[in-house]
Chain A
Amino acid sequence: MSETMMIFGGWVAAGLTIFLFSFLYKDNPFFKIAEHLFLGAGMGWVFQTVLFKTWIPKVWMPLTQAPYDFSVLIPALLGLSLVTQFFPKISWVSRYGFTFIMGYGSGLVIPLTISTDFLNQIGGTLTPFMVTSFAGNWLQLLNGSIIAVGFICVLFYFFFSVEHKGAVKKASTVGIYFLMLYFGAAFGNTVMGRFSLLYGRFDDLYKYSGGKYFYATHVILAVLVIYFIVDHFRTKKPAIEEEAA
């Protein structure tokens, strides 16, 4: 890739980044263009991934190159049957593709869920108590007890087969506190994840603001600011005229 293309790439990336950030001020055509480009580019990216990772190696090549494997026609036809959804008269054909996905998916998910989300979680709750002596393990036992109590209380909160009153209500209230701790931590992690992306974008904008990229960030930002100023006065004018009228 030539140096010119890299500089041009810097301008494109800086422009698209600033266009999307411009929404923080207000909705505008530049944001809408970038938003629609993102939609198309996202689809394009997935399309090329499916094309080069699935359709060509797993369907086209087995059908056209030795050793031939014509059994791939069955899933290909099942997959193509899904597209009949767009033709109401024959849309029932898509059921063949959907039933395969649902049947196979369910058969796969059930044992995996039992193993990882069910038995492993119970095992993980019991493991801290598998010690031979109290000495030296008291912190592990204390943490294990907190997890076990919290886990059981959360289950009580989700257990609706008995009325939540008395001891059950107390347990479910404790469960709510553990859930709140989980939600708070999950929220904190999400915020930090988004902010790390934000730092990344600012870092890129800083990079593209250098002389090597002919001050792409500054120029694009200035153009956008001029647009907003012009747009402000352009859209304000009719309101004044209306007032005068």
Chain B
Amino acid sequence: MILIKKYIPLALCFLFGVLTLGSYYVPTAASENYMEAMNQWENIVAGFAFLLGLFGLFYSHYNKITRKVDGWGYSLFVYIGFFMMVIPAILSEGKIMEGTTLTSIGWGYRFIYNALASTMFSVLAFYIVSTAYRAFRIKSAQAAVLFVAALIVILGKVPLGQMLWDTTLGWTGTQVSGIVQWLMDVPVVAGRRGIMMGLAIGGIVTGLKIIFGIERQYMGRD
């Protein structure tokens, strides 16, 4: 049983990993066909993987409703929200627009999902500002650098910032947008590259560990 439960899945991981890795470095017609097929397979598997999250969410809220825990009534709105999007989508076959008019799912996307999603993220603007107030108390030179960089980027992207810059530092002959551009193109690139390099090395090593079966936490416990 351990063969079916453990060794065959690990062998499959190794096989798919090595074949995919090899296909990148040995570009033949066969490897291109393999990559095309695997890309299709990956899309299908990822589609079904979504069911994991969906069932998990539904199960959790179903339990809240059946056990009548505090605020269980709100859980009903998870199902209402879900069917408010899915039923119109099925009726309009997933099309958002029919010619120049909105379909029912297009309506749901524009007036329900988009309104909720963009408001939810925009609310974070207030919390970012309050967090920044606490985080940006300049206690060291490094914190000052972080603060100044953030301030310049924020000022450089709004007309008010340009006006303030022109009034106070206009005599230098520089534009705040030019300073932001230089900041983003030179010192920020240096910092980002260092982090990307670290992430790349970490990603490559983890990938190799997964292919060779050294890292197998994703398989869960026996």
Contacts and interface: CB of A to CB of B under 8 A. Distances in A.
Interface residues of A, number: 115
Contacts of A105: 42, 207
B52 A82 contact: yes
Contacts of B59: 86
Contacts of B57: 39, 43
Interface string B175-191: 00000001111111111
B196 A75 contact: no
A82 B115 contact: no
Interface string B94-109: 1000000111011111
A16 B149 CA distance: 35
A195 B154 CA distance: 10
Interface in B99-124: 101-103, 105-124
Interface residues of B, number: 129
A137 interface: no
B121 A194 contact: yes
Interface stretch (A183-191, A218-226, A227-235, A236-244): A183-191
A74 B41 CA distance: 8
Interface of A: 1, 5, 9-10, 12-13, 16-17, 20-21, 23-24, 29, 32-55, 58-59, 71-72, 74-76, 78-80, 82-83, 85-86, 91-92, 95-114, 117-118, 121, 124-125, 143, 146-151, 153-155, 157-158, 175-192, 194-195, 197-198, 200-201, 204
30 contacts: A20-B119, A24-B126, A32-B74, A36-B76, A37-B81, A46-B50, A47-B54, A53-B94, A54-B44, A59-B47, A71-B37, A75-B44, A78-B45, A95-B5, A99-B12, A106-B13, A113-B203, A117-B203, A118-B197, A118-B200, A121-B193, A121-B200, A143-B185, A147-B186, A153-B194, A158-B194, A181-B187, A191-B128, A194-B124, A197-B122
Interface of B: 5-6, 8-10, 12-21, 23-25, 37-38, 40-55, 57, 59, 71, 74-86, 89-90, 93-94, 101-103, 105-126, 128-129, 132, 141-143, 145-154, 157-158, 182-201, 203-204, 206-208, 210-211, 218-220
